[in-house]
Structure 1
Amino acid sequence: MSYLIPAEPISIEQQVKRSLFRCSIAHCPDRGAAEIFIRRIALQHKDANHNCWAMIAGPPDEPQGYGMSDDGEPRGCAGKPMFTVLQHSGIGEIAVVVSRWFGGIKLGTGGMARAYSSSVQLGLTALTTILKIHYSCLTLTLPYEYLQTVEYLLRQIEGKIIEQDYSEQIRLELEVPTERLNNFVQEIEEKSQGQIHYFRP
């Protein structure tokens, strides 16, 4: 699958009833990277009253990358609202920490949840993202007359030739966007009338 990921880390803040909320976001491809980022922000903002966090450390639809923490705030008032915003964004490989400096006015559980979720929404609005495309490997063996056809079809789907070998026939090692692999194979079969042979490692 293809999905958006953060292009670069950002930090943005807002004030809610004198409390300062600073949202820090970074690209974290796995849980290890997310945990390092969370520890770094918590150390950087060790004077904050709370450093709450949420992560989707992997593809958006893989629960093993999910995580959240209230870091001492009332249960369910910080980490969960933050995670919900992340989940609805469709962005993957992302971790967010919202650091709070208490301003003396209590927000209540509802107000606190809104403050944490709106901090993440503010961060996502400012975040630059890029599209991550997953590729599958494919090996082709083809007569020389079909090389231009294969190259044309590859360009249409932003595929890549990784290795090539020219002997009696051409052998190509390809990387093809996974979402378009089946259509690509079907097209080369139709255009070559079965003369292009393929193998999926």
Structure 2
Amino acid sequence: MTTRDPLIPDERVDALRIATPPGWEAVALADLHATMSDHAHAEKKAALAGLSLLNAEPERDDLVARMAKLAREEIRHLDQVLGHMRARGWSLRPDRADRFARALIAERRGGRGEAALCDRLLVAALIEARSWERLNLLGMALAEAGEDELAAFYVELARSEAGHYRVFVDLAASECPGEDVAARLGELAEVEAAVIAALPHEPRIH
């Protein structure tokens, strides 16, 4: 029996209600250039989202420190993805609207209070959780296709996404003590499951 690394959540990353429906890996591999371009843009957006949170909540010292670290990591990942693309002679394709993220963001409560911050953190957590699952699936599919170097890169990168998921959940608990974080995460996870089940498979991370 294999012992799971305690730093990595379970295969559904705790909060996720459903796995990606079968077939996404084949679509992602069929146009790997598009998938990797989308992944690069996802890393860019994750870095910007972390910096936006830092900018919006400058008085929250722990949040500021964690978002600065997260943004650095996401920028490094962006650079690494672009490096793998350059090695294949591929340029970055234009960014496309992310229907998955847009649907989750639409569920966030507005305003400037704890409720709004809680939702912002938990939506970010769910996006990271799904990223972990998708990057892990892509890494395993690449390994089966004999793309050992790229497979190892994606499997390792998935570990980081799992860690980011936990950072956002922990921040919601510590920064929003008036909120029932577990209950709200469950509510948003139900929405996430419905969105991921409804979206067609495309050569992109979300």
So what's the TM-score if we normalise by structure 2? 0.22
Structure with more helix by fraction: 2
| CA radius of gyration, larger in | 1
Q: Which has the higher contact order (CA 8 A, sep 6+)?
A: 2
TM-score by length of 1: 0.22
